[in-house]
A and B are shown apart, each in its own frame.
Chain A
C-alpha cells in the first residue's frame, strides 16, 4: 500500500509502486480529470500538483508520492466550488476541446499559489510546458491574469 494525501484526504493506493501515478488516479482513484496526452512529460495534459509543484503524473511512479500531497484538477477547490483559475477560464470562455485544460489549470494554480500577482510574462513562462492544439493560449493567459486580479480583490 502506498499512502498519500490526495486532494487533501489521506488515501492508500494498492497498485504496484512502479505504476504511473496517472494510471492510479484515473483507475483506482476514479479521478479521470487528469488526462493522458503523451506519456513522456512533454505536453502537460497530465499535470498534478505534487507538494505544490506542477509535475507530469504520466512519468511519476506511485512510489514517488508516498507521504506527499497530490492535488488534481478535481481538488483545486473544495467540493463543488471552482478555483479562481477555473472560474476565470469559464468567464473568458478560454477553451475549445478542453482536453489540455486540466493540466493548464493545474500549472496556473501552482503559479498563483507561489506568486499571487504574476505579470503576463510570468504566466506565459509558467504555462510554457503545457501544449494546446486548438489555439486558446491567449484566452488562457487572459483568464489566469483575471484570476490573479480576483485574488487581489480579496
Chain B
C-alpha cells in the first residue's frame, strides 16, 4: 500500500484538486485566501482548487482558527503541502517524458516541456508514488495579491444550504436544551413529566427531542413550565465592576519591569474601563451529533478548534479520542469563543439517547446572549511622568481583568458548559490567558509601541469569578489600545500639542509612522473635531491607525472612519478591506452601545432590545487605505482595527465636545454625565 504524498490533498479524474483546510471559515473569507495560496503553490487554476471544510479525520491539526493568525500560520504549511504535490507531479511528468524535472514548467494547471503537455488529472497517480526530495521552485503569483471573489458567497446569496443550521442528516431529530435560569441555579427536583415529552436528563442538564423544529420549541416551552430550580445570587454589582475587578484573588502578570527610580516631573494619571461584551453572533450556536453502532460519535460543529473540541468531548463522554470524529460546518460569524463548542456537547448528550439517530441542536437567542462566554470587563490605571514639554519620561500601567481564554481543554478541563450541569459535574474554570509568545490575553497590547525611557506594566488577572469569559475578537487589545491611545491624547492636549505630532514625537518605528501619516492625510488631519488612534496589533502583527469624525448633537454618532493598515504582503486586497471595515464597524458598536447587563443573580441582556448593536442608520462610512509592504510577511487583518477605532472615537468626542469619556460604552448619557 502506498502512502499518499499529502493526506490532505487529492486529485479527481476531472482534475479537481481537493485540499482539506486546516483553518475554518468563520465568515472572514479564509477559505478564499487559502485557495489563492494553494492555487499559486500548485501552479493550478483557481477554479480547479477546492478548499474543503476542516475535519479531524484526514485533515491537519492546525490548532485554532483565531488570533488573526490563519494566513500567517495556516498559509505556510498549506503552501508546503501543495508544493510537494506539485513537485511529485513534475517528477512524474519528467519521468514519462524522459526529461529532467527542471525542464518541466506548470502554470494554471498545465504541465509543459517543449510541446509536451499534461494536466493534474493526467499526473494524479504521482501522488501515490514514494516521494524523493522536493526541490524548491519559484512559484508565480497568479492569485496571491488579487481580489479574488469569496468562494462561499454565491451559496449564501442564493439561499442554498451552507450553514450548520441547514444540516438535514437522514432520520434527523431536533433538540433543545433547557438552561438553568442563572449560572448558580440547579435543578430543584425532577418533576413528573408527561409521557409524550422526550426528555434527556443528566443532573441539572435537561434537553428535549422532537421530529421538527417547531415541535422541539413547543416541547422546550412545556418542559420549562414544569421545571423548578434552586437558585441564589452570585453575580457582582454591574455598576461597580472597577471594585469587583480589583478585589481578587489575582494572578499578577509582569509585562515590563521599570528600572531605577521614576524621574522628577509632573505626574498625571487616569482610569479607563470597559464592561463585559457579548459576541452576539447573528445565528444562535448549533451542532449536530450521531452515535454510531460501531461505537463512534460524529459531531458537526462551527467550532474554531476541532481538535481541542474532540479532546474535550472525549473527556466528558468518557470515550477514546479515536472514537470521536469532528467535522466543521459553517456557522455565522463568531468573533471569538462563543457557544459553538458548548452546543456540540449538548448535541452529543442528546444524541446519546437516540439509538443512532442524529440530532441537530440549536440554541435560542437568549442562550446565545446569556450563556456564551463573554469578553471580560476590564479596568486600567495609567499614569505618566512628563517633562516641561509634556513628553513622557516614565509610564506606569496596571490592567485588571478576568482571563480571556477558556476554550476547550485550556487549563486541563473540558470547559464545556453542559459539563458543569451533569450529575457528575466538571469544573468550569475561570479563564486564563495565552502565554506572551502567543499574544497574551488581558495584557495583549498593554505594552505601548512608543519610545518611553522608562515603563512599568503589570496585569492583574482575576482567578475566581461566576461570570464565564473567553476570547472575544482582539482579547485585551481592544481595551489596552483604547486606554493607551486615550491617555496619549490627554497628554498631548494637556501639553497643548497636536495629538498626531505628539505620537510621532514618541515613535521611531517606520512602519508605524507611515500608517499614522497615511491615515491622517487621507482623513484631512488638521480639521477640528477629528480623533486618532493607533497600534500595532499584539506588537508583532498589523499596523493600524484610525481617524474618527463624530457628530454629537441629539445622538452621538460616528460619521466616518478613515483607516490605514499595513499587513505586509496582502493576499487578497478586498478581503483585507472587508475585514478592516467590518472590524471597524463592530468596534464602533462596542464603543458606542454595548454592555452585558446583569443583576445579582442572572444575565439580563438576553435579546436585541437589552443588548442593542449598531444598526444600518448608525453605521459610519469607512475608508480603508492599504499601506502595502510586499517584502514583509503577511499578517492577519481581522482584529487590527478594534482598539484603534475605539480610541479614535473617544478622542474625536473629546475634540468635538471637549468631554473625555473614560468608561465604555460612550453613550449619549455617558457624554452628558462626563460634562458634569
Stretch at the interface among A31-39, A109-117, A146-154: A31-39
0/1 per residue, A44-69, Cβ < 8 Å to B? 01000000000000000000000000
Q: Is B2 located at the chain interface by the 8 A CB criterion?
A: no
Q: How far is the CA of A74 from the CA of B159 in the complex (A)?
A: 6
CB contact under 8 A between A125 and B617, given known A93-B149, A93-B150, A99-B283: yes
Would A32 and B161 count as touching, CB distance under 8 A? yes
Q: How far is the CB of A87 from chain B (nearest CB, A)?
A: 8
Q: Is B354 located at the chain interface by the 8 A CB criterion?
A: no
Stretch at the interface among B242-250, B383-391, B582-590: B582-590
Q: Is B154 located at the chain interface by the 8 A CB criterion?
A: yes
Would B582 and A135 count as touching, CB distance under 8 A? yes
CB contact under 8 A between A128 and B615, given known A37-B283, A93-B149: yes
Would B158 and A43 count as touching, CB distance under 8 A? no
Q: Collect the chain A residues with CB atoms within 8 Å of residue B214's CB.
A: 15-16, 19-20, 23-24, 27
Would B578 and A96 count as touching, CB distance under 8 A? yes
CB contact under 8 A between A135 and B586, given known A37-B283, A96-B29: yes
Q: How far is the CA of A139 from the CA of B577 in the complex (A)?
A: 11
The contact size tier of chain A is 35 or more
Would A32 and B157 count as touching, CB distance under 8 A? no
Q: How far is the CB of B558 from chain A (nearest CB, A)?
A: 12
Would A128 and B27 count as touching, CB distance under 8 A? no
Would A36 and B608 count as touching, CB distance under 8 A? no
Task: Give the nearest-CB partner of A99 in chain B.
Answer: B332
Would B578 and A139 count as touching, CB distance under 8 A? yes
Would A95 and B608 count as touching, CB distance under 8 A? no
Q: Collect the chain A residues with CB atoms within 8 Å of residue B501's CB.
A: none
Task: Give the nearest-CB partner of B622 in chain A.
Answer: A138
Task: Give the nearest-CB partner of B365 in chain A.
Answer: A38
Q: Collect the chain B residues with CB atoms within 8 Å of residue A130's CB.
A: 616
Would B282 and A131 count as touching, CB distance under 8 A? yes
B613 touches which of A20, A37, A97, A131 (Cβ 8 Å): A131
Would A98 and B27 count as touching, CB distance under 8 A? yes
Q: Is A89 located at the chain interface by the 8 A CB criterion?
A: yes
Q: How far is the CB of A7 from chain B (nearest CB, A)?
A: 11
CB contact under 8 A between A40 and B616, given known A27-B213, A135-B586: no
CB contact under 8 A between A39 and B365, given known A23-B213, A124-B617, A133-B335: yes
Q: Collect the chain A residues with CB atoms within 8 Å of residue B617's CB.
A: 124-125, 128
Q: Collect the chain B residues with CB atoms within 8 Å of residue A35's CB.
A: 163, 165, 282-283
B365 touches which of A37, A93, A128 (Cβ 8 Å): A37
Would B608 and A38 count as touching, CB distance under 8 A? yes
Q: How far is the CB of B660 from chain A (nearest CB, A)?
A: 26
Would B608 and A99 count as touching, CB distance under 8 A? no
Q: How far is the CA of A86 from the CA of B158 in the complex (A)?
A: 7
Task: Give the nearest-CB partner of A136 in chain B.
Answer: B582
Q: Which of B123-172 contact A (CB under 8 A)?
A: 147, 149-150, 152-154, 156-163, 165-166, 168
Would B152 and A98 count as touching, CB distance under 8 A? yes
Q: Is A82 located at the chain interface by the 8 A CB criterion?
A: yes
Would B158 and A82 count as touching, CB distance under 8 A? yes
0/1 per residue, A1-40, Cβ < 8 Å to B? 0000000000000011001100110110001111111111
Q: How far is the CB of A120 from chain B (nearest CB, A)?
A: 11
Would B607 and A38 count as touching, CB distance under 8 A? yes
A33 touches which of B28, B160, B283 (Cβ 8 Å): B160
Q: Collect the chain A residues with CB atoms within 8 Å of residue B521's CB.
A: none
B609 touches which of A42, A74, A105 (Cβ 8 Å): A42
A134 touches which of B582, B608, B609 (Cβ 8 Å): B582
Q: Collect the chain B residues with CB atoms within 8 Å of residue A39's CB.
A: 364-365
Q: Collect the chain B residues with CB atoms within 8 Å of residue A134's CB.
A: 27, 333, 582, 586
Would B150 and A133 count as touching, CB distance under 8 A? no
Would B153 and A137 count as touching, CB distance under 8 A? no
Q: How far is the CA of A130 from the CA of B614 in the complex (A)?
A: 10
Q: How far is the CB of A136 from chain B (nearest CB, A)?
A: 6
Q: Is B621 located at the chain interface by the 8 A CB criterion?
A: yes
Q: Which of B47-83 contact A (CB under 8 A)?
A: none
Q: Collect the chain B residues with CB atoms within 8 Å of residue A70's CB.
A: none
Would A138 and B585 count as touching, CB distance under 8 A? yes
Q: Collect the chain B residues with CB atoms within 8 Å of residue A82's CB.
A: 157-158
CB contact under 8 A between A97 and B609, given known A90-B157, A135-B582, A138-B581: no
A137 touches which of B149, B163, B335, B619 (Cβ 8 Å): B619
Would A137 and B585 count as touching, CB distance under 8 A? yes
Would B213 and A96 count as touching, CB distance under 8 A? no
Q: Is B12 located at the chain interface by the 8 A CB criterion?
A: no
Q: How far is the CA of A34 from the CA of B165 in the complex (A)?
A: 11
Q: How far is the CA of A43 from the CA of B283 in the complex (A)?
A: 10
Would B280 and A133 count as touching, CB distance under 8 A? yes
Q: Chain B CB within 10 Å — which of A15, A89, A139 has the most?
A: A139
Q: Is B281 located at the chain interface by the 8 A CB criterion?
A: yes
Q: Collect the chain B residues with CB atoms within 8 Å of residue A141's CB.
A: 616
A98 touches which of B157, B615, B620 (Cβ 8 Å): B157
Q: How far is the CA of A100 from the CA of B332 in the complex (A)?
A: 9
Q: Collect the chain B residues with CB atoms within 8 Å of residue A33's CB.
A: 158-160
Q: Is B523 located at the chain interface by the 8 A CB criterion?
A: no
Would B607 and A97 count as touching, CB distance under 8 A? no
Q: Collect the chain B residues with CB atoms within 8 Å of residue A40's CB.
A: 365, 607-608
Q: How far is the CB of B549 from chain A (nearest CB, A)?
A: 15
Q: How far is the CA of A128 from the CA of B287 in the complex (A)?
A: 30
Q: How far is the CB of A127 from chain B (nearest CB, A)?
A: 4
Q: Collect the chain B residues with CB atoms within 8 Å of residue A125's CB.
A: 617
Q: How far is the CA of A80 from the CA of B154 in the complex (A)?
A: 11
Q: Collect the chain B residues with CB atoms within 8 Å of residue A140's CB.
A: 616
Would A99 and B159 count as touching, CB distance under 8 A? no
Where the two chains meet, the residues of B that have a C-beta atom closer than 8 Å to any C-beta of A are 26-29, 147, 149-150, 152-154, 156-163, 165-166, 168, 212-214, 217, 280-284, 330-333, 335, 362, 364-365, 574, 578, 581-586, 589, 607-609, 613-617, 619-622
A–B complex contacts, Cβ < 8 Å, 7 sampled: A36-B362, A38-B608, A40-B608, A42-B608, A97-B26, A99-B282, A135-B619
- Please name the 3 residue pairs, one residue from A and one from B, whose CB atoms are nearest each other, closest first: A33-B159, A97-B27, A135-B585
